[in-house]
Amino acid sequence: MRKKQDETTIWSKYIYEWLGSYTPSICGNSTHTIKTYRLTLSLYIHFLSIEMGIGIGNFTADNFCKDNIQKWILWLQNKRDNSPETCNNRLAALRAFLKFVSGKNICYVYLYNQSRLIPYIKMQKRKIQGMSKKATAAIIAAPDLNTKTGRRDHVLMILIYATAARINELLSIKIEDIRLGADKPYIMVLGKGGKIRTLYLLPKAVSHLKAYIKEFHGIKPHLEAYLFYSRNDGIYGKLSDVAVNKQLKKHADVARLSCKEVPDNIHAHIFRHAKATHWLDDGMQIVQISYLLGHSSLNTTMKYLDITTDQEIKALETLEGEGSSKINRSWKGRIDELTDKMGLISIK
């Protein structure tokens, strides 16, 4: 029979393997996803330690039982004021970890099966705020082209709207992924699930992109350089989505002076959603839209566009033509012994 303290060593190894090698290497998860997973486990272990009185001496695998997880969800809601969406994301992350552990040791399959019995919190679907073609044009035209940052933002918005790519896909593009000299110019991006997707470009986007690369990367650009790089980190440092959204809000404020249709809460994803809806309005086949968005199924696209009954009929007709509330974190100060043992971050 193992000593109780050995349980913490075993589970800390599982956490290390899951976050350190399995999720980034085997699953191909992004750094953002891994960061979310780490925070989820930190919150759970913190809950066990502070709310349940669990320490190194009395920790066991049974601490991941269904009853404790349900209490944890309520704690997230009531004590940390987490939204239903955040709670559901936390539950999904913890469930993914327990699935990994069950694969490492069959003795823990029961924990994963118990977690699957916990229902997600029902929540109202949040509809993405739409953006008209007029508003889109106004924002793209807003940057000051007399400044280098303005010219960069102008090209970035043109590319987001032209391709309807996810912002992380665009910000991960390197010079080596771009083929502007091809008969049909294109960019290769790495999408969700590690799927490589080809984004073809129309002449306007190609023209702007060529001028941008010449100005920001020179005549002989480094192949490993990011297309849109961080001013602080240089060409090998990726521009962050936080920085992009900050700039977009600034340009939206300018655009709103001449176009009242510009949404208040602007962010990069609105451009992707806008392009998809504009494609649909222009009569493009729903199957084509789904493919261009990189969705794995047609149903995902229908839900993504929040298609109404009338729109659904119109969309299906095209087929026939085929033929955080914020989390308080503390990075300094006291770390409870269980969290420390598990190699996780301190939670305030």
d(CA 244, CA 183): 31
> What is the percent of the chain where pLDDT is above 70?
86
Under a CB-based contact definition with an 8 Å cutoff, are residues 188 and 196 in contact? Answer: yes
Residues 116 and 155 in one domain: no
Q: How far apart are the first and last CA of the chain?
A: 35
Instruction: Report which of residues 123 and 197 the model is more confident about.
Output: 197
Residue 306's pLDDT band, with cuts at 50, 70 and 90, is low
Instruction: State the average pLDDT over residues 50-69.
Output: 92
In a domain, 45, yes or no: yes
- Per-residue pLDDT of 133-143, as tens digits, reads 999 999 999 99
Instruction: Report which of residues 330 and 135 the model is more confident about.
Output: 135
Which pair of tokens denotes residue 81?
A: 């004021």
In a domain, 305, yes or no: no
d(CA 256, CA 266): 11
Helix (H, G, I), strand (E, B) or coil at 188: strand
d(CA 322, CA 285): 8
Under a CB-based contact definition with an 8 Å cutoff, are residues 177 and 187 in contact? Answer: yes
Residues 223 and 149 in one domain: yes
Instruction: State the average pLDDT over residues 13-18.
Output: 92
d(CA 61, CA 10): 10
Which pair of tokens denotes residue 247?
A: 């700039």
Selection from 245, 310, 244 nearest residue 280 by Cα: 310
- Per-residue pLDDT of 210-262, as tens digits, reads 999 999 999 999 999 999 999 889 999 999 999 999 999 999 999 999 999 99
Selection from 304, 259, 272, 271 nearest residue 286 by Cα: 304
Residues 209 and 184 in one domain: yes
Helices (H), the chain: 4-17, 31-50, 66-78, 84-104, 109-116, 133-140, 148-163, 167-171, 203-217, 241-255, 268-281, 286-293, 298-304, 309-320, 337-342
Instruction: Name which of 22-36, 53-67, 82-96, 108-122 the model is least confident about.
Output: 22-36
With 60 as the cut, is the pLDDT of residue 327 above it? no
With 90 as the cut, is the pLDDT of residue 338 above it? no
Residues 337 and 216 in one domain: no
Residues 101 and 148 in one domain: no
Handedness of CA 132, 241, 290, 210 (dihedral sign): positive
Residue 125's pLDDT band, with cuts at 50, 70 and 90, is low
As to burial, measured by CB atoms within 10 angstroms (0-12 exposed, 13-18 middle, 19+ buried), residue 332 is exposed
Domain count, the chain: 2
Residue 124's pLDDT band, with cuts at 50, 70 and 90, is low
Q: Which amino acid is at 184?
A: K
Residues 183 and 161 in one domain: yes
Residues 113 and 144 in one domain: no
Instruction: Name which of 74-88, 113-127, 300-314 the model is least confident about.
Output: 300-314
DSSP symbols for 38-73: HHHHHHHHHHHHHTS---GGG--GGGGSHHHHHHHH
Residues 193 and 216 in one domain: yes
In a domain, 290, yes or no: no
Residues 206 and 248 in one domain: yes
Residues 79 and 151 in one domain: no
With 60 as the cut, is the pLDDT of residue 332 above it? no
Under a CB-based contact definition with an 8 Å cutoff, are residues 135 and 253 in contact? Answer: no
- Residue-range definition of the domain harbouring residue 193: 139-280
State residue 187 phi and psi, 5-degree precision.
Answer: -130, 140
